[in-house]
Amino acid sequence: MGISTRPNTAGVWIIVPAFNEAKVIGDVVGDLRSVFANVVCVDDGSRDNTADVALRAGAHVVRHPVNLGQGAAIQTGVEYARNKPGATHFATFDADGQHRVQDVLRMLDRLRRDDLDIVIGTRFADTTVSHTPPLKRLILRLAATLSPSSRRLHLTDAHNGLRVFNHTVADQLDLTMSGMSHASEFISLIAENHWRVAEEPVEILYTDYSMSKGQPLLNGVNIVFDGFLRGRMR
Amino acid sequence: MWIQVLLIAAVIALLVYLLGSRTNAKAKAGVKVGYVLFVIAAVYAILRPDDTTVLANWLGVDRGTDLLSYALIIAFAFTTMSTYLRFKELELRYARLARAVALQSAKAPES
């Protein structure tokens, strides 16, 4: 297949957790595959044909037999990719088309240039024009401020689905929160394992589709409480 | 008093049932000891209900009934919490099992 693989993308694995995304997953995987050779789509027990569409678009497909949640899907994708020979870098990328492939490339460059373990996308850097709806923006900023690890690491957007990381992070990653609280758990793991972290401004494409699939704001309450409980699970 | 006979029979039946279960011997031993103590206290309270009021007064509570309802609320909250944590732990094991199954049947694209 005529894929123009850039030299610095050969060992990169893109992890796309997907649940009932058959409508858009084909385009998302296709876009990614035009730049990256290795894309793994984790179908989180979808009821539609997400897995078939992703496979046809050129992604590796790992299919959860039951729906487990986005955190579990990311963990599955990382475990699949980190055992592949030649894998050096990993990225998580939402399946609903809200992320841009060029942001991943920029984050990869940043990871290599600044010798970091993980780069997280942020919607709230001062330099970017933000298209985040005001209420959503307020809640997300509040979540970042309430999280002790986010504050300590000076992170402004804990719930961005776009992350790029190296093999160290992939090997040590063990997400235990299966649902939407995995984003805060990810941040806590960064603090606990002393991974070198930085933020990179990214743009989120708030389409009608991604807005309808997005988590309701009330879920923020669950995320905050799960964060408190996590310490008791170990 | 028939109610006393019924209540005592009930707590002893529960004790026999609990002591008869053999799952996870070490972790359950503490629970079994605690339950034996509970049965002794329960039988005593059933036979001499007024003594709970004496105990309640020592603790600064007016009636034995109130003391029992406080104890019940604490026990209920404790049970709810431990059940919740147990469910979380089971969910995690279940996720890991499903993940192992998923990874075994992964499909690579043809190219």
Q: Are residues B68 and B34 in the same domain?
A: no
B38 and B53: one domain? no
Q: Is residue B38 part of a domain?
A: yes
Q: Nearest Cα to A195, choosing from A225, A163, A224?
A: A163
- What domains can be seen in chain A, in order of their start residue? 7-233 (3.90.550.10)
Q: Are residues B53 and B43 in the same domain?
A: no
Per-residue pLDDT tens over the stretch A143-165: 766 766 776 777 777 778 899 99
Our count of domains for chain B comes to 2
* Residue A139 phi, psi (nearest 5): -65, -45
Tokens of A155: 């992170």
Mutate to test the interface with A, among B82, B85, B88 (most CBs of A within 10 A): B88
CA distance A18 to A94: 7
Chain A residues whose beta carbon lies within 8 Å of the beta carbon of residue B106: 60-63, 80
Which among A41, A25, A44 has a CA at the least distance from the CA of A179?
A: A44
Facing residue for B102 by CB, picked from A55, A76, A233: A76
B60 and B12 fall within a common domain:
no
pLDDT, mean of residues A204-229: 67
B43 and B55 housed in the same domain: no
Checking if the pLDDT of B16 tops 90, the result is no
Q: Identify whether B32 is part of a domain.
A: yes
Which has more confidence, A206 or A52?
A52
Say which residues have a Cβ less than 8 Å from residue B93's Cβ, sequence separation at least 6.
Answer: none
C-alpha A194/C-alpha A13 separation (Å) is 23
- Residues in Cβ contact with B31 at an 8 Å cutoff, skipping those fewer than 6 apart: B18
- The residue among B111 and B44 whose pLDDT is bigger is B44
- Whether residues B54 and B43 share a domain: the answer is no
| A64 neighbourhood in chain B, CB within 8 Å | 98-99, 102
Q: Is residue B87 part of a domain?
A: yes
Tell the burial category of A129 from Cβ atoms under 10 Å away from its Cβ (0-12, 13-18, 19+).
Answer: exposed
Same domain for B1 and B39, yes or no, is: yes
B111 inside domain: no
**% chain B with pLDDT above 70:** 92
Q: Which domain holds residue B2?
A: 1-47
Does A59 score more than 60 pLDDT?
Answer: yes
pLDDT digits (tens, 9 = 90+) for B57-100: 999 999 989 999 998 998 899 888 888 888 988 999 999 999 99
* CB distance A141 to A125 below 8 Å: no
Residue B74 forms part of a structural domain: yes
- For tokens 């008869």, the residue is B20
Pick the residue of A49, A53, A79 with the most B CBs within 10 A to test the interface with B by mutation.
A79
Q: What ipTM is given for this predicted complex?
A: 0.78
Is residue B110 a part of any domain in this protein? no
Residue B62, in any domain of the structure: yes
